[in-house]
Each structure stands twice: as C-alpha cells, then as structure tokens.
C-alpha cells in the first residue's frame, strides 16, 4: 500500500469504539492499569456501562459515574485483545489497559488520558461543546457544523485549522482535512472569514461523503482519485486534477503536516488574484446542500452584539 494511512481518523475510531463496546459494555473490570493517569481509577468489579467515540475522543463510562477520556491525536490507538493474546505494541507504550472477562482493551500512546466524574462533564474543557460527529450526525446537525465554520469566532484562522477543531465537528483528522480542501478546491490558508456559506456547506458535505464512504474500509481514499488520495502524502507528485506539484507544510499548534496543490487550490488563498470571470466554481451538487442553503442568511460573529 503506497499511501498507507496510520493516522487515526474518525471512521477508524468508530470501528475501534464499536469493537470496544461489544467487548466491554456490561462487563465488570477485573484489572485497570493506567501508569500516567491523573485522576481516579475505576474500582475492580465496577461495570462498564457505555463506550462512546466522538471524532478522536473516546469515553468509557462506569456504573459509578466515572468517565475515562482518551484523545488519540496523531500517535494513539486502541487495540482489543483476547485475554492472554500477545500485544502488537510494546508494554512501554501502553497508556491504559482495561481487562474484563475474556478481553483486554489497550490504549497505546494516547497523549490525553484522564478520568473525571460524570457530573463534571459540563465543566470538562474537552466536552460539552464538541461538534457533531460527521460519521453519524443527521442533516440538521450537519447544517450546524457548516454554520459553526461560517461563524467561527476567530476570523483570521486558516480554514485548514478550523477543519480540525472538534468544536466545529468531530471526525475530520489530518488526512481528511487535506483531502477535503482539495476536493473543494479551497486553499487551506484561506482565512475562515473569507468563506461564504456555500463554501462551508461544501466543506462539510465533502467531509461527510469521505468519512462515510470510508467507514467500513481499511484506509482513507477519495473516489475517482488514482491511488486513493489526492494530496495527502503526495508531496512532490503531480496533482491528479491540474498537474501542478503537490506541496507539504507543517502548520498549526501541533505542527501537523498539511498537503495541498497550489495549482487548483488557489481559491480564497491570502493575496491570491481574484478568480477570473467565467471560471466561477459550480455549486455543490449534493442534494442536501439545498436544504442547508435554505437556512440562510447566517450571521458572522458580531463583536458588538451581546
């Protein structure tokens, strides 16, 4: 696999979440080990009630209200093993191990591992305001996601960063953000305030299509793109759409790799020439787009209001 993707994306977390749910829910914990955890540990014998995934966040809830929260970022993964089965990663990379009858769930290398009590959920900074999960959200919530992009509180933030903000929507990881922006022909460096409502809808629609199309596959691919991925991991190669050379750059708080084609993703690029007349992009043909657009006009954040 030339473009193998090891980055945890929303859909792979979904599969991990489903497997963990099947193995863990309704079972009592026989062993819990989390060497770097700050916060309370679940007591032996406590029963797991719920396993929930939102984007790269995973929550496990015990029957006494204890919640374990992991965020995998780029490096982390959850594995599920039969009891006694050898692990595929070294013990030293283990951040959480949860043992129940017949199964051991192991989280490796997650940068965020924490526990808190359920009643604190609204005070927990990572929760409460998380955006809808693009893998599962119904249409009205997708509309909300598009609107959150349009009304993004910090107008100068590049759209490439906004797509990773889990408060806008959950599920878009580093691979999808590059691919989604390419699919929409939008510059990843476009200030979010330069996007029109139709752009926001188009981005969410593209992300939804890609995430859901890949929900049951082993890797991220784009339909009708040779090799599956248009830009991610393809720096230095020719763009399948315009023939220009795909570039890569480290951006953002976590210096994550962003791939884009400067040839056909010039739209809304800072200081770019305006699109010449006659080359306007067609509207997104996705049937749901009409529904979202019916909700216009949206209002950007107005610092003078309330």
Binding interface with Zn ion (CB under 5 A): 239, 241-242, 244, 261, 263-264
CB closer to Zn ion out of 257 and 264: 264
CB of 244 to Zn ion, least distance (A): 5
CB closer to Zn ion out of 143 and 187: 187
CB closer to Zn ion out of 166 and 187: 187
C-alpha to C-alpha distance for 231 and 179, rounded to whole angstroms: 6
CB of 210 to Zn ion, least distance (A): 18
Residue 196, phi-psi category: left (phi > 0), alpha (psi -120 to 50), beta (remainder): beta
C-alpha to C-alpha distance for 186 and 150, rounded to whole angstroms: 14
Q: Quick one: tokens of 201? A: 């809808």
Contacts of 98 (CB under 8 A, 6+ apart): 24, 29, 31, 32, 48, 60, 68, 104, 105, 106
Q: Is the dihedral of CA 73, 132, 208, 161 positive or negative?
A: negative
C-alpha to C-alpha distance for 247 and 258, rounded to whole angstroms: 8
CB closer to Zn ion out of 7 and 239: 239
CB closer to Zn ion out of 193 and 245: 245
> 120 in helix, strand or coil?
helix
CB closer to Zn ion out of 33 and 244: 244
Q: What is the DSSP letter of 210?
A: H
CB of 264 to Zn ion, least distance (A): 3
C-alpha to C-alpha distance for 267 and 290, rounded to whole angstroms: 22
Cα angle 54, 58, 216; round to 5: 65
CB closer to Zn ion out of 29 and 230: 230
108 strand-pairing partners = 77, 94
**Cα–Cα distances in angstroms (integers) from residue 234 to residues 99, 238, 257, 278, 281, in the given order:** 40, 8, 11, 30, 25
Q: Which residue is closest to Zn ion by CB?
A: 239
CB of 202 to Zn ion, least distance (A): 17
Cα angle 25, 218, 105; round to 5: 30
CB of 185 to Zn ion, least distance (A): 8
CB closer to Zn ion out of 121 and 257: 257
CB of 263 to Zn ion, least distance (A): 4
CB of 119 to Zn ion, least distance (A): 51
CB of 269 to Zn ion, least distance (A): 13
């Amino acid at each position: 696999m030339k473009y193998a993707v090891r980055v945890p994306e929303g859909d792979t977390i979904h599969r991990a979440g489903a497997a963990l749910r099947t193995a863990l829910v309704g079972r009592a914990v026989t062993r819990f080990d989390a060497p770097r955890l700050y916060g309370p540990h679940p007591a032996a014998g406590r029963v797991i009630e719920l396993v929930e995934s939102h984007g790269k966040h995973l929550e496990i809830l015990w029957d006494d209200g204890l919640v374990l929260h992991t965020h995998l970022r780029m490096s982390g993964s959850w594995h599920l093993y039969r009891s006694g089965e050898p692990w595929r990663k070294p013990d030293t990379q283990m951040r959480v191990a949860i043992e129940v009858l017949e199964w051991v769930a192991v989280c490796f290398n997650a940068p965020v591992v924490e526990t808190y009590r359920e009643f604190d959920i609204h005070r927990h900074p990572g929760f409460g305001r998380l955006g809808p999960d693009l893998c599962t959200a119904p249409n009205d919530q997708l509309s909300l996601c598009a609107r959150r992009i349009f009304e993004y509180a910090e107008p100068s933030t590049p759209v490439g960063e906004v797509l990773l903000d889990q408060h806008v929507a959950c599920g878009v990881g580093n691979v999808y953000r590059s691919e989604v922006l390419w699919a929409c022909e939008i510059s990843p460096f476009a200030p979010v305030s330069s996007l029109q409502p139709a752009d926001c809808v188009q981005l969410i629609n593209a992300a939804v299509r890609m995430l859901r199309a890949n929900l049951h596959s082993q890797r991220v691919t784009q339909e009708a793109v040779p090799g599956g991925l248009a830009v991610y991991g393809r720096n230095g190669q020719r763009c399948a759409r315009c023939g220009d050379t795909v570039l890569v750059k480290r951006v953002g708080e976590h210096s994550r790799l962003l791939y884009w084609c400067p040839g056909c993703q010039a739209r809304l690029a800072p200081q770019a020439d305006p699109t010449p007349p006659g080359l306007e992009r067609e509207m997104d043909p996705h049937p749901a787009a009409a529904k979202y657009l019916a909700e216009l006009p949206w209002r950007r954040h107005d610092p003078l209001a309330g």
